[in-house]
A and B are shown apart, each in its own frame.
Chain A
């Protein structure tokens, strides 16, 4: 029997978070939110989450990327799948002027653009959870 999956959203726009949260809760996920990278990372370290939904443009720039990078350095957090939800792709290009833009500029699992259709959001979330679980089962 599967317990309810617990998801964390880190995004500095509370209204946007509500929109995402409502969809996920309707689909019976347990959802928590943090509204800045610092609180978000603290939550990751103390809580037990099955997945992270991460915004990129927070604070003074692309602070979301820092969260993803820090997660990669932590053996436990590395296992948590990350769905990046961001504004238009040009904004990412702007973070690295002159460099080639690739969605996988950090080792994240998926990247989608805001706003995201409920159906697409739920598909991505369940697919990422399934992949992570399969990975865990193989490792264990």
Chain B
């Protein structure tokens, strides 16, 4: 860590006296007589502390503070102010200044405030480093665990693929189907591990880096395609009702499909044989609404507030199917990463309706805007 102090003040006498006070100390000092010059020095001199006079001709002290914060938020800003304008110092501190130095000041006051400022700077840098380290550990943990879990599955999958390829001319259709199913199950497992690790590493926000315009209709059909086999096994019919025209959303198709598959999967799990699940999509007031309604067992009222939390599974013990207790929690995170919301209405014995609401993508200045 350096010992650089930058002082920005239009009064030469202030700059001179500060320099004098620090003479012979281990601090390095740079001075500027106006905001613009000061900002330039913030970049070149890379100060740890910046003293800024609030009242200067040209760029105001408040603007300088703002610029410093955007350039490097770890720099500790301290404002210099006259006794008569202590209220503006309070205002500056509300906006992030660490302390204030009232004019006129004694050498001791200046040294004390500078010293406290350096202590603050040290803490800021340390907590930043700690936070980084923690994030890194979490990411590494996820990566290592992921490798340990996925490698055996990849080996199994690769051998199934190889067997299918080697025996392609000898297998009966029924055997081929069984092999295909086995592969699909392992694929599901690989995806599940991937999902869990994402929950653990909690970096769902990262998907935002790959956001693109996504068609809701395509999300719907992909999700239905992946759920259909499960539904067919219980003779459940999935009815899709898409109300056109349907706008696009800004998002990540893979995780949105995953979110919908989670909800539809639950609907299938908790539905009775030969029942129906209705999936609707429509655009309404700048939002895309996707709802999944089943006529299954429903969710007890006392469970409703908790179902979107990690590892929560209904207490009322409807041992219909087992789950991880993570599906809905992850779904909520995915939806929230898309600036959306998810809600549920349910009645015990009658069924549940989940509604995902996503902001519709504004397709440019030509698109009709909502009034």
A residues with CB within 8 A of B: 13, 15-16, 18-20, 22-23, 26, 57, 87-88, 90-91, 93-94, 97, 114-118
Contacts and interface: CB of A to CB of B under 8 A. Distances in A.
SS class, residues of chain B in contact with chain A: helix
Q: Which of A18, A19, A91, A118 has most B Cβ within 10 Å?
A: A19
Contacts of A91: 143, 146-147
A88 B158 contact: no
A88 B162 contact: no
Q: Is the interface on chain B under 10, 10 to 19, 20 to 34, or 35 or more residues?
A: 20 to 34
Nearest to A114: B154
Contacts of A19: 155, 157-162
Contacts of A13: 151, 154-155
B46 to A, nearest CB: 20
A26 B162 CA distance: 9
Given A97-B136, A97-B139, A15 B147 contact: no
Contacts, number: 74
Contact of B194 (A88, A93, A115): A88
A54 B352 CA distance: 50
A22 B155 CA distance: 12
A94 B159 contact: no
B165 A118 contact: yes
Interface in B126-156: 136, 139-140, 142-143, 146-147, 150-152, 154-156
A111 to B, nearest CB: 15
A94 B156 CA distance: 24
Contacts of A117: 161
B158 A20 contact: yes
Nearest to B164: A118
Given A87-B146, A91-B143, A15 B165 contact: no
Contact of A94 (B140, B158, B194): B140
Contacts of B154: 13, 16, 87, 114-115
22 contacts: A15-B159, A16-B151, A16-B154, A18-B162, A19-B155, A19-B162, A22-B159, A22-B162, A26-B162, A57-B147, A57-B151, A91-B146, A94-B143, A97-B136, A97-B140, A114-B150, A114-B151, A114-B158, A115-B155, A115-B161, A118-B161, A118-B165
Nearest to A118: B165
Nearest to A113: B154
Contacts of B158: 15-16, 19-20, 114-116
Interface in B35-82: none
